[in-house]
Each structure stands twice: as structure tokens, then as C-alpha cells.
């Protein structure tokens, strides 16, 4: 069921969050129990990326006259072999979107609805909100890795990705960092 359909049915945000989380657990449980080997999955979140900035489907790509889909062959292969869940409600800022994706909760419920976390700001994604990495690790035995930008707090160790369910982290803690120079 598309997220917009749930919203139009008038479900409360709390109920909607529970529905999404329950469906996620159900799907993960089915996947884990139906195969001897757990499936891999990759979640991609990209800041300031428009819907049609990358190729999701070579045959249906809106701007195929302007962009060659073959420039991202690995990304295309991942899409062909996997499931694309491309109906996620994002925020105009990165911290609220990241918090929502990792917890399954709207930013208003995590306290991240109005701003990005600044480098000198204490705190982070509230600790009582479990991340999908924590759930996958604790309930299904997955190994988890985060590559890229965290931007959900780093003032104390308990807010770091490796304390929020990720076994490994390669990237930056804050936004507006240079990916090559790491500054």
C-alpha cells in the first residue's frame, strides 16, 4: 500500500508508523524464514537528489534523451536484482529525513522536524528511538554497515552510528563535508 494511500485514509501518524513498522517486520520475517541465507539489502539516501537525476528504469527513464543510464551500471544491476521501494516521504533537510528512514517515524516524533543537527549541538537522534540497524542486528542477526553521512548527532559516543546498531561506519558525522578531502 502506498504511503499516500494510508495518509488519505485518515490514519493517525502513530497508527501509520505502527503499520509501516509492522509491515517491515512481517516482510523481514518472511524473507528470513523463507531462505536459508538471509537476503542482503541496501538502502540509499542521497541529499539534494531529484527524482529523475538517476536512472531507476532504463525503459521508463523520463529524460533518456538527456542522460545515459549506462553511467551507473552497478546501481542498475542492484535495481534489476532487487526490490525498489521508492515511495518514502522525505523532508527538505537531511537530519529529519535520515532520522525518519532509520526509525520509521515522522520527524515530529523524533524531535528532528525543524532543523539539521549542527556540529556544536549537543544530542542527536533520541536514544529511545531504535534504528532499523538495531532491529536487523538484534532480531535477525544481520551485520550492518553505514557508508556516507551520519548527521544524526556525535556529541557523545552513544549518538554515533556504531552505538546505534551499525557494526561499521565509514563516512562523516556532519553535513557539508568534502567526500574526498574528508574535511
C-alpha cell at 25: 517486520
Report whether 38 contacts 32 (CB < 8 A).
yes
* Spatial distance between the Cα atoms of 60 and 105, rounded to a whole number of angstroms: 31
| Nearest partner of 150 among 167, 132, 125, judged by Cα | 125
The active-site residue out of 8, 27, 55, 151 is: 151
The active-site residue out of 27, 94, 115, 129 is: 94
C-alpha cell at 101: 528512514
Cite the beta strand spans of 84-160 per DSSP E: 145-149
Look up 94 and say whether it is catalytic. yes
CA atoms within a 13 Å half-sphere pointing along the CA-CB vector of 146: 24
Look up 55 and say whether it is catalytic. no
Report whether 107 contacts 99 (CB < 8 A).
yes
The catalytic residue positions are 94, 151
Amino acid at each position: 500500500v502506498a504511503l499516500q494511500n494510508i495518509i488519505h485514509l485518515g490514519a493517525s501518524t502513530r497508527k501509520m508508523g505502527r503499520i509501516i513498522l509492522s509491515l517491515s517486520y512481517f516482510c523481514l520475517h518472511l524473507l528470513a524464514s523463507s531462505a536459508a541465507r538471509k537476503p542482503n539489502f541496501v538502502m540509499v539516501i542521497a541529499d539534494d537528489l531529484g527524482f529523475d537525476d538517476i536512472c531507476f528504469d532504463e525503459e521508463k527513464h523520463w529524460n533518456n534523451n538527456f542522460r545515459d543510464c549506462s553511467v551507473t551500471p552497478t546501481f542498475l544491476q542492484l535495481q534489476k536484482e532487487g526490490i525498489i521501494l521508492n515511495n518514502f516521504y522525505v523532508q527538505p533537510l537531511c537530519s529529519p529525513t535520515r532520522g525518519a528512514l532509520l526509525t520509521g517515524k515522522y520527524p515530529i516524533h523524533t524531535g528532528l522536524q525543524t532543523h539539521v543537527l549542527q556540529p556544536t549541538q549537543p544530542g542527536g537522534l533520541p536514544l529511545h528511538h531504535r534504528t532499523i540497524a538495531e532491529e536487523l542486528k538484534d532480531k535477525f542477526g544481520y551485520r550492518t554497515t553505514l557508508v556516507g553521512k551520519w548527521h544524526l548527532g556525535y556529541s557523545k559516543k552513544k549518538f554515533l552510528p556504531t552505538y546505534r546498531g551499525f557494526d561499521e561506519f565509514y563516512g562523516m558525522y556532519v553535513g557539508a563535508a568534502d567526500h574526498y578531502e574528508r574535511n
